[in-house]
Each structure stands twice: as C-alpha cells, then as structure tokens.
Structure 1
Amino acid sequence: MEARPRKKSFTPNVRDAKKPSFKPKGKPGGKPQGKRPFKPHSTDKGKTFKKSGGDGGPRKFNRKPADGKFAKKRKHPGGKEDGGSEGKKPKWGEFKQKKKELKQNRQQNEKKESYQIVSRAKQVWEIVRRKDCDKQKRAKLMKELQNLVKGKIKTIAFAHDSTRVLQCFIQFGNDQQRLEVFDELKEHIVELSKSKYARNIVKKFLMYGSKPQVGAVMSAFKGNVRQMLRHSEASSVVEYAYNDKAVLSQRLMLTEELYGNAFQVCKSSVCPTLEKVLEANPEKLEGIIDEMKQILTPMAQKEAVIKHSLVHKVFLDFFEHAPAKQRTVSAVTSDDSALITAHFLSTHTAGPLHGSRRHVSTVALNGQTALHGAHFFVLFCSQEMVSSLSEVISNKYGKKVLLYMLSPRDPAHFLPEIIQVLKKGDGNAHSKKDVAIRRTELLEAVSPPLLKYLCENAPSMVMDKACSVAVRDILGAAIGDLRPAMEAVAALAAQPLIPGGEDGQVTHLQRFSRILLEKVGLENLKTWASVNRGAIVLCCLLQSADESVAEEVKVMLKSILPELQKVQNSKGVEVLLEKLA
C-alpha cells in the first residue's frame, strides 16, 4: 500500500504578502505578551504597616468581623482645652437685641427727623388706646400727641406702622383735634382710601367726624366711584360710606356715576333719580340703558365688585327699565339684589329658573332675600326646601318662606311694603296658570312633608315661641289629612297643668330669684339699681312669685330711694320707682 504524499505547509511569499497592520506592544526584546504568570494567593491573615506616631507597632485590620457587623467609628474625645467638637449655642437674647438695634438704625436712617416723633407717638398711642386709661390721663396724652403729629400728619398716615396712631387720635380726640387732622388730609381722601392701611383713617372720619367732615369725604368720592369700586382696598370704603353713613342725597350722588354721562346731563334737583329722568325724557331711555350696560357688564364679571350693595342698586334700576332682550341676572344676597332676583324670576321663562334650584336653601335662609324671593322660588323649588325642612323651619328667615307658602301676603306675617313688592310678580307674562291654581298646586306639594314634620316634632314646635306660629298656619292652611297632626298637638294639651309645679313646689324659674338673692347679696344689689339693665332685673325680683324675695328687695330699695330719684335718663330706674311708689 502506497503512502499518501505529505501535504506541504502553507508559507506565503514574503515578497507578495502584506505586512500586518498591527504592531505588538511592549519594548523590543522584552517579555512576550500574553497572560500574566500565575501567583499563588498569600496566606497572610492581614496586611501590616507601620503607623507614624504612637508606639510604632504593627496593627492588623480584619476585613470583616466574625459576627458580620462593622464596628462603630470611634470619636476623638475632645475637651475644652483642645477646642472640642461641639458648636457654640447661640445666645437668643443677644441675637434679638442685635436684630432690634439693626431695625431701629434702619428706620432711623429712612425716616431721619420723624423717627423720634413717630417712636414717641406710638408709645403714647399704646397707652391711650387701652380701656383702663382714665379720661384725664387720656386728655393729657392726646394733647401731647397733637403737638407731636402736627405738620407731619400726611407722612404718618401713609406709614404702615404709624397709621394706627392717627386712627386712635381721630377716635378719642375732640372736635378741634379731628378738624386739625382733617384739614391736612382732606386733599388726599381718595389716595388714602386706596392705601391698605391708610383707608381705615377715612373710615374713622366717617365714624367719628362731624357732618361737614362726612359730607366732605363723600364729595371727595364724586367722579372717582367707578375707579374706587374696582380697587381692592378703596371699594370697602365706598361700600361702608354708602351703606352706613350716606343720606339719600349722598347715595344718589355716589350712584349717579354708574348711570352714565347721558343721565348726569339730564338729571336735576327736580329729577334726581333714573325713574324721574326717564319720565321727563322718554327718548333718552335707549341711550341711558346702553351706557349702563357698558358700565355694568365689566363689573358683573368681577366678583369683588358685584358683591357691593351700591352696585346692586344700579343693577335693580337697570332691570326695571331695560328692554327684555337686554336683561341678564347675577343673583346675590342683599336687599336690592333680592329685588333683582324677584324681578328676574317674575319676568323669565322656566328654563333659566331651573338653573337656580341649587341656591334655594341659601336664598331661603338669607334675611334679605327670603321675603322677596319666596313668592317666585316656591313656585318651582318647594321640593328643594322640603329636603332641608328642619334647617329652614328653625331659621327665622326660612320660617318666613314657609309662612308665605301657607298664607301668602298675610299682614300678620309680612309688612305692607313687602306685600307691595311681591305683588309686582303677579303680572308674569310667562305664566300659563291662574294664581289660584298655582297656589293649590303649591299647597298640594308642601302639605304632606309639613304635616309629617309636625307629627314627628310637635313638642319642640309647640313649645318654641317662634315655631308655634308656623303650627297654627300648618293646621289652618295645609291640604290633606290633618287629623294625625291635630292629635299630636292635642296630646300635648291633654297633659295635666299644675300651677306652681308638682306637689305645690315652685318651678326652677321661680327658685332662681332666691338663689340669686343669696349669692349676690343685698349690698351688691344696691349697686345694680343705678344701672339701666340692673334696675330691670330688680323690677323682676319685685314681681317674683317668692313673696319673701320680693319683700326683702323692696325694703332694700326703699333704703336707697333718695339716690335713685337723682338718677336721670334711665328707663329702668323710672320703672323701678313706679314699682316702689
């Protein structure tokens, strides 16, 4: 068998082959590249090194303790002599004192000459404003304060930290002192009203100023009412002036700016109101209403403005005289806004009314809107109020709404002026039913829940003086089975009545007179006689069912009769003297 020829190994031609593109690393002639030679792991338990300092001996560190936990790092025990590691605690007394001094220096640099004056004025104010400051001391300090602020009133008024000084000065000062302050500030009333702190000075003038000063403040507002109503600070000043201090002529002056220029041109002393101006100039109706709409529309979009009663009055006039297409509504809770709501509900279809249902309970419990809104709301929202009947019937305004449901326009419950306002809704062009039919449907809707509520709460309603009026109207006007409700009321009347209480004992109300006499004492009761309300209490003691109490009080009062006769301008003392005569 022939052997196969041995294959020759491939050897590329050195001349034809390409040189390799990489070069081996390392120095020429060095060790060949590749894996490092294997070295056996050291069997030593730890590394040793010599620590500089100390004893210089070797220290060994274990990689991990046997228990698997690392030891806590030791802290160097520092002492006071070598500085220690704890920081120094701040001394708050020194810190606050330093801060106070810095504040005083800053204020002194800013105010310069007035700093000492303002500082002393605030010290005087701190004493004067206290209730325990007697009249003589207060008068003396007010004189000192007058000398301090003279000529610098405007600067003090606009400073946030000293404006209270002027407020106190106006409140407790005499007429001459108030006049001195007013003369320096009367040219800056509007500017003061717009200041967050100084606006209270204007309010103090309205509260304590003389009639000429109040009139001058009102006149300063003229021409600036629209601007001030839209200002966050000044609006409250105008509202206070209009609601609490302005007379009729001043109210007309404050509102005329919101009626537009055409109204101001046409108005006169004979025709001061919108109604009279339109009667005298009917051709001006469209122009005046258009101007009013342009003025009122941006106000209606700002919640801070729409809440003011001055704006409500202008809205009411707008709704009463504007054509039907231009009427819009924003219901709020004040007297004039209640009339707006009434006018809106009596002149609109059912569509917009359903959107107001969620506000019925709020309106019913509001003192201003309950009377005016009741006539219209109950026509479609009776069920909304029935759901919160316990809350409505216990509220003095909500009770009025229920009484109107049962006995509409009863003079026993409503004033003639209110009845006249409610009658304006009778001519509702959108109502498709007769008034008698609407009233019957209303009673059918509210009678069952009212009768049920009376059956369940008869004792509390009958014994309550305010709710007992509603009991009478429920039994007299409700439709349906009245017998269960009448039996519940009659059951209370069937309980035995024992004069003076059971076993002939006086009630707790009658026993109170004896307890009062024992605790207070006759000597202390003598001091009550000179005070109006105290004299009224003594009158009640003279009429006490406990005759011994009445006799003791009578003897005591006769001993001080000459002193009582000297007391003047006290109705209680006058009644007391009549009882003793």
Structure 2
Amino acid sequence: MAEPKRKAGTDAGPPPKKFKSEHGNNGVHPDRQRFQGGKPNGFKKEDGKEGVLNGQSSREAHHKQKALRLERQAAKPNADSIARSKKIWERLRIKSAVPKDERRTLVDELFSIITGRVKEFVFKHDSVRVIQCALKYASPEQRTQIAEELRGSYRELAESKYAKFLVAKLISEEKGGSHRVRDMIVPEFYGSVKRLVRHPEASWIVDDIYRGLATQEQKARLLREWYGGEFAVAGLHDESQKVTGDLATILRESPGKRGPVMGHLKEMTNQLVQKKTTGFTMLHDAMLQYFLNCAVGTPEHTEFLEMLRDDEEGDLFKNLAFTKSGSRVVCLALAYGGAKDRRNILKHYKTHVKLMAMDAYAHLVLLTALEVVDDTVMTAKAIIPELVGKDLDAESRDHELLGLATHIHGRVPLLFLMAGEGESPKWLLDTPHHDTLREIREIRKTTSKKEPETRRVELNKAIAQPLLDFIASQAEALVQTSYGCQFIGEILIGANGEKEKALEAMASLAAQQNAAEMLTTPHAGRLFKTLVQGGRFNPATKTVEAIDPPLKFAELLYNTVKEEVEDGLLTWATGSNSWTIVAMLENEGFEHKDELVAQLRKHRAELAAPKEDKAAGAGTKVLLEKIGEDVEEGGVPLREGHKSKKDKSKKAKREAADAVEDVLGEEMKEVKKVKKEKKSKKGQQ
C-alpha cells in the first residue's frame, strides 16, 4: 500500500508512525501511555481544579523545587551577604529610578558588605555583577580599594566567562584616571600575551588593555612578546629598564636574531588570521611591524601580500581599515598591489565607504585608493557613488552629504580631489597622514602608470557636479558652520563642473533676512572674501591665484547687495563684511569697480566713523585708502589737499630730525677738518 502524501508546508520526511494501544490509535507511543494514565493531557481533572501529576499539583512541585534551591543556596558561604547585595544591585541597576540620597545610602551599604571579600564575589556568575555595580558608583578611592583586593587575580579574571566583564569595567572606568590602578593591572599580563591572545575569553580583554589603558612603554613590553619567548621574559618586571617595541630598532641592534624573530611574528599573525580573529589592535600593530621590515621583492614581502590576498571574505581588510596601524597596512597593500589586487581590496569595502570616510583612520584608505588606482572609471564606481549618495532620494542625499561635509574626517575624501598634489590646504590633513601619503606617492612611482594630475582631474570630474548641486540646494545650511564654509570655498574654487546655480545660491544669501546674521560670522566673511577674490591666496607669493575660467562671483554679489538689500553696500562696507568689499576693489576683473568707488565716496563720514568691531574698523580703513581718502583722528574725513594733525605732527618731527642731523653733520665736518690739520702738521715735523 502506498504511503499517504504529506500536506504542503509540513516537514520533509516520511509520515509519523501510528501506534495502537488499549485506548485505540491515538498516535501515542506505548511507552508513554503509562505516564498519561490513559488521559490525553496526562492530568486528572476533578471538579475544575488544577491537574495533578504523581500526586502533586504543578504549583506545589514548583514551590518544592524553589524551596530546595533556596536551601542549597543558604548552605553556601556568604549566602546572606550575596543575597542582600543582589537585592541592592536590583535596586541600583536602574539609575533613574533611585533618588540620589537613597542611592548614596545603598552604595555605602553595598561597600560595607563587599569590602575585604571582593574575591569571594567575582568568580560567581550571579554575584560578579554586584562588584560591577559597585564600580559604577564608586569614588576613585573605593575603585582603588577594589583593585587592590583583586591584585594578583587579573589574569585569572580575564579568562573567566563572567569575571572578564569586571576587568573590562575597571579598564573603562580607569581611562583618564589615576595611574595606580593601571599599573596594578597591566604588569600582570606580561609574559602571557602569546597564550592569552588566543584565549576565547581573555583575548579581547588583553587587547582592550593594550589599546585603551597601557602607556607607550607598557604597550612596547606587550608587543615585544610577539617577537619570541626571549622578549617575553627579558626585563619582565623591571619597569626601570627602557624597552622599545619598534622591530626595526631591535633588528638593527641584534641583526643575528632576524630569522627567529620574523618567523615567530609570522607564525603568531598567521594563526590569528586563520582563526578569523582579526579585530585586535595588537595584531594590526604586529602586522605593520612585520610588513615594514620586509624588503620589497623578497619572499617575506610577497608571502605577506599573498596572506592578505587570501582574505576572500574581507573580514581582515575591514578590521584593518579602522585602526591606526591597520589602515597603514591596507594603504601599503594598495600601493604595492597590482591592478587586480587593488580592485579586490576595494570590493571588500562596498557599502562601507561612508563609514570609512567618517573614521579617523579608515578615510586614509580611501585617499590612497584615489591616489594609486589607475582605473579611474572603476574607482569612480566603487567609491564616489556611496560618498555622494547617488542611489538615495534628493532629501536623503542632501542629509547624508551635509553630515559628511561638516564632519572633521568625512569632508576629507570630498575635498581631497579639489587641489593638485602638494596644494591641499594644511588644515585638511594632519601631519601623520601627510607623511603617509608622501610615502604612498613614492611607492606609486614604481607601481602606477597614470600621471597623478591626470588621475586627479578625471576623478574630480566624477565627483564635482553632485557636490556643486548639493551646494546649490543647501547653501544656507552649509554657511552656518566653519566646516561648511570651508567646504563651499574648496568646491567652488577647485571643482570642474557647472557652478552657476551654486554661485547664485551663495549670492542670494546676502538678500535673505534670516541669513543676515550668519553672514557676519568670521568663517562666512572669509568664505565670501575668497569667492570674490576668485581664487586661493598663495602665502609664498602673497598673491591671489585666480582660477580659469573665472568665478565672476564679485559681480553676482555686488548686484544682489546693491539691488536687493536696503543700504546694502553701506551695511557691508561698514560691518564685518568690509573685507569682502575690499576684495571687490582688489579684484582686477571686477567690472563695477568705478561704480563701487563712487558709491563708497558718498558715504565717507559713515566709513570713517569709529567702529566697535576692530576687524570691521580695519576693513573700512583699508576701503578709505582704496578710494583715495585719509582720515583725521576722531573719524573726520579730510578734503583733498588738507593734512591731518597727525600728519602735521609727523612732518614737524621729521623736520626737527633733519635739523639735528644738519647740525651734527656740520660739527662732524669741523671735527674731521681739525683732525686732518693735526695729522698734516705731524707729517711735516
């Protein structure tokens, strides 16, 4: 007989077997019949009361189990203390639910219970949280007291499934605090790094200590253990002995140890990479030390790049990008890699570009990709769409770009392509990142074919128009911050695209009442001055390098201020934006210069009046000089041909000095004449 078909949606496999019993074919295995007593639910229902199992109701059975559990707990050491401390923890763990006075009382009671017995609490999964709670509300003295009681146990605590969180809590609370607790914790891990970094519980604690707590000296001691057993025991507890974690220095001092050291370091890094535990900062530091000491073209160098290449899932590259040493490893891998290697590396960062752009270290990986990859079409597809939010709707795109443009790191990849090599403003990148890029550019000379300026121009064209459109729609939001003003200035000066709408949006801000106050800020003043000048100021030559084609923003702004703002020119000329008007007069291509000068001369008195704002006063003074006016003390403008009291005083002083010089000159001539006569007489004798 054929088996019945299964209903759709049921589990795969043959249908369940049916067992017959004295009660019929009810689908219950015969061995289970005796536990059910012939009843489908296993309970005897009487008068609607709760069912009974083995002569006991389920409620009675639960009560009995609970009583037995409490009895066992009460028989353990410190049962009463632990029970009371857990009650306090239950109350304290929700900070907002406890008034401050009550919290202080509970914390004092908690410390009265645990003081002197901290070790009895920390190795139990339910009571260790009590110590963590105590640390949360502890004073610095109480925190030090707990740390003292745990001295000698930190390595064991780090290996515990539950107690490791206590060590993590101590580390987080100690950051930026006293050095006493730090110097108790860190030395206990000396000599055990190789074992602990592979421990499932302790590895993250060791790395947290290395990354966030240890001093540079302590970091060096921990990192040296990656170089071999000799370094794990040398000077282990002698804190006075200075050590270095720089592998190049160690190999320079002991060149004979290069083979064993490099072999041990390679073994440890490979083990962690193979285990997919690649998020440790200590691992990234060790990998960088190894890579920097591999000569280019050697088997060591090639094998290291192959190890990175084998990271098919990309976990290693993703973790490396977000640490200081790791990002440098990725940058070097991009610089030394071939076209295929670079493409594969960038593939791992798909959907992570924006996150990388806003990270202190990962954004350097993006800059390196922009610097070394010859296939600019591929780079433009891999990086730029995510940066500018190409696949988002207009509102979301503007929101994302505004966040990037006003972020200290996020703005860097957007602005990096706006200036030529070596021309990027110093404020855009810090010195270490400039040094890394210089290193990458040196390597690029032998590994990339395309001319750097050609690469930059091609990528600039790919990113420019979305950023110009963004400025056109969000000019008011950007001009509110200094980062936003810097962003606008760099894009409008350096981008290769259609700038008309963006420039019009900037000029229209001058006519908006709600934007008037924003434009009086120093950063807005600098922005408008730069746009009016039409280029960047070169401090070396002390000249403005105008761009081609010219912006012609001076004309746009002049017409807007003159026509759409009441007394606009006078307001700008006598206020904090006076330097913008100065820039108009200094712009050789400004078409309305004569008209502007005539307008300013009509307001000599207002321009010469004393100003509360020193910057505005300095700007108006320069304006008066530009339009051929001088100012007497007290702010009174002078008519042509008249001299101020100050000038008269200066002239009188010069005349007096000349008179003195004339008198002294005559006297000196007389003295010289007498000396000459005496000398002549001596010669005759």
TM-score, length-scaled by structure 1: 0.62
Match of 2:326 in 1: 337
Where does residue 118 of structure 1 map in the other structure?
A: 82
Q: What is the DSSP-based 3-state SS (H/G/I as helix, E as strand, rest coil) of the residue aligned with 2:352?
A: helix
CA distance in 2, matches of 1:443, 1:282: 47
Cα distance in 2, alignment partners of residues 143 and 265 from structure 1? 43
Q: For residues 352-392 of structure 1, what are the alpha-carbon distances to aligned partners after superposition, in whole Å with 9 as ceiling and x for unaligned?
A: 11012331552453213344213222244233333231356
Instruction: Give the secondary-structure state (helix, strand or coil) at the position aligned to 1:433.
Output: coil
Alpha-carbon contact 1:400-1:413 (below 8 Å) kept = yes
Out of 401, 406, 414, which is 1:402 matched to? 414
| Alpha-carbon contact 2:472-2:505 (below 8 Å) kept | yes
Query: Does the Cα contact within 8 Å between 1:193 and 1:234 map onto a contact in 2?
Result: yes
Provide the rounded CA distance (Å) in 1 between the counterparts of 2:111 and 2:382: 61
Contact 2:217–2:242 (8 Å) recurs in 1: no
Q: Does 1:252 align with 2:220?
A: yes
Partners of 2:130 and 2:268 in 1: how far apart? 39
Question: Out of 387, 393, 409, which is 2:401 matched to?
Answer: 393
Contact 2:190–2:232 (CA<8 Å) still a contact in 1? no
The answer for the alignment partner of 2:647 in structure 1 is: none
Q: How does 1:486-565 map to 2 (within 5 A)?
A: 486-493=503-510
1:527-558 CA-partner distances (Å, limit 9, x unpaired): xxxxxxxxxxxxxxxxxxxxxxxxxxxxxxxx
Given that 2:221 and 2:243 are in contact with CA atoms closer than 8 Å, whether structure 1 keeps it comes out as no
**Which residue matches 1:88?**
49
Residue in structure 2 matched with residue 436 of structure 1 by the alignment: 453
Distance verdict in 2 for CA 1:84–1:306, change over 3 Å: closer
* Structure 1 residues 348-497: aligned runs within 5 Å: 348-358=337-347, 359=349, 362-366=352-356, 367-379=359-371, 380=373, 381-388=379-386, 389-390=388-389, 393-394=401-402, 395=404, 396=407, 397-407=409-419, 409-428=424-443, 429-455=446-472, 461=478, 466-493=483-510
| Distance across 2 between alignment mates of 1:499 and 1:393 | 24
Q: Please, which of 47, 59, 66 is the counterpart of residue 103 of structure 1? A: 66
Native 8 Å contact 2:220 2:244 kept in 1: no
Tell me which residue corresponds to 1:240. 208
Counterpart Cα distance in 1 of 2:224 and 2:292: 16
Amino acid at match of 2:268: I
Give me the whole-angstrom Cα distance separating, in 2, the residues matched to 1:143 and 1:459. 54
Please state how far the C-alpha of 1:427 moved relative to its aligned partner: 1.0
SS at match of 1:159: coil
The Cα shift of 1:291 comes to 1.6
Partner of 1:202: 167
Residue 425 of structure 1 deviates from its aligned partner by: 0.6
The equivalent of 1:313 in structure 2 is 285
Distance 1:399 1:96 in 2: 64
CA-to-partner distance for each residue in 1:46-84, whole Å, 9 max, x for gaps?
xxxxxxxxxxxxxxxxxxxxxxxxxxxxxxxxxxxxx98
Residue of 150, 154, 177 corresponding to 1:189: 154
Distance 1:84 1:106 in 2: 30
Closer, same or farther in 2 for the Cα pair 1:150/1:442, shift >3 Å? closer
Residues 340, 96 of structure 1: CA spacing in aligned structure 2 closer, same or farther, 3 A cutoff? farther
Partner Cα separation in structure 2 for residue 442 and residue 485 of structure 1: 20
Q: CA RMSD in A?
A: 3.9
Q: What one-letter code is carried by the residue in structure 2 that aligns with 1:216?
A: M
C-alpha separation in 2, matches of 1:299 and 1:458: 49
Distance 1:174 1:499, change over 3 A: closer
* Contact 1:320–1:343 (Cα < 8 Å) also in 2: no
Q: Give the distance between the partners of 1:191 and 1:297, measured in 2 at CA.
A: 26
What is the alpha-carbon distance in structure 2 between the residues aligned to residue 497 and residue 157 of structure 1? 60
Query: Deviation at 1:403?
Result: 0.9
The aligned counterpart of 2:37 is none
1:100–1:202 Cα change, 3 Å: farther
Deviations 1:125-148 (A, max 9, x none): 445556476787666655654554
Contact preservation (8 Å) 2:247, 2:289? yes
Q: How many Å separate the matches in 1 of 2:451 and 2:233?
A: 44
User: Closer, same or farther in 2 for the Cα pair 1:317/1:437, shift >3 Å?
Assistant: same
Structure 1 Cα separation of the partners of residues 497 and 83 of structure 2: 76
> Kindly tell me: are residues 99 and 472 of structure 1, through their superposed partners in 2, closer, same or farther at Cα, counting changes over 3 Å?
same
Query: CA deviation digits over 1:443-498, x for unaligned, max 9?
Result: 34433444455456656555676444322212211235544543454455565779
1:551 corresponding residue in structure 2: none
Q: How has the CA–CA distance of structure 1 residues 356 and 214 changed in structure 2, closer, same or farther, with 3 Å as cutoff?
A: same
Specify whether residues 494 and 215 from structure 1 end up closer, same or farther in structure 2 by C-alpha distance, changes over 3 A only.
same
Is 1:325 paired with 2:298? Answer: no
State the partner residue of 1:301.
274
Q: How many residues align?
A: 419
Q: Look up the equivalent residue of 2:69 and give its one-letter code.
A: R
Match of 2:21 in 1: none
The 3-state SS of whatever aligns with 2:199 is coil
Provide closer, same or farther for how the CA distance between residues 347 and 150 of structure 1 changes in structure 2, counting only shifts above 3 A.
Answer: same
Aligned letter for 1:377? A
Distance across 1 between alignment mates of 2:106 and 2:151: 25
Q: Could you tell me whether the CA contact under 8 Å between 1:266 and 1:277 is conserved in 2?
A: no
| Separation of aligned partners in 1, 2:510 and 2:453 | 35
Deviation track 1:231-277 (CA, whole Å, cap 9, x = no partner) reads 33323322322222221112222222223336558897264422321
> Letter of the aligned partner of 1:307 in structure 2?
G
Q: Secondary structure at the match of 2:219?
A: helix
Counterpart CA distance in 2 for 1:239 and 1:261 is 19
Q: 1:222 maps to which residue?
A: 190
Deviations, residues 294-334 of structure 1 (Å, cap 9, x unaligned): 1101111233x311222222222222222321323332222
Tell me: CA distance 1:482–1:286, structure 2 relative to 1, closer, same or farther (3 Å): farther
Identity over aligned residues, as a percent?
24
For residues 130 and 107 of structure 1, do their structure 2 counterparts lie closer, same or farther at Cα, with a shift above 3 Å needed? Answer: same
User: Counterpart of 2:209 in 1: which secondary structure?
Assistant: helix
2:515 and 2:110 map into 1 onto residues whose CA distance is 68
Determine which of 140, 157, 166 is the counterpart of 2:131.
166
Residues 418 and 494, structure 2, Cα contact 8 Å, conserved in 1: yes
Whether the 8 Å CA contact 2:220–2:243 is kept in 1: the answer is no
Which letter maps to 2:410?
Answer: G
- The answer to whether the Cα contact below 8 Å between 2:509 and 2:515 also exists between their aligned partners in 1 is no
Rounded to whole Å, the distance in 2 between the matches of 1:500 and 1:252 is 53
Tell me the amino acid that sits aligned with residue 412 of structure 2.
K
1: CA distance, partners of 2:332 / 2:59:
63
Distance 1:192 1:263 in 2: 25
CA–CA distance in structure 2, aligned partners of residues 445 and 503 of structure 1: 37
- Secondary structure of 1:186's counterpart equals coil
Contact 1:370 1:400 in 2 (8 A): no
The TM-score with structure 2 as length reference comes to: 0.53
In 2, Cα distance between equivalents of 1:195 and 1:338: 32
Q: Are the aligned partners of 2:196 and 2:206 in contact in 1 as well (CA < 8 Å)?
A: yes
Verify the 8 A CA contact 1:338 1:373 in the aligned structure 2.
yes
Aligned equivalent of 2:614: none
1:196 aligns to what SS in structure 2? coil
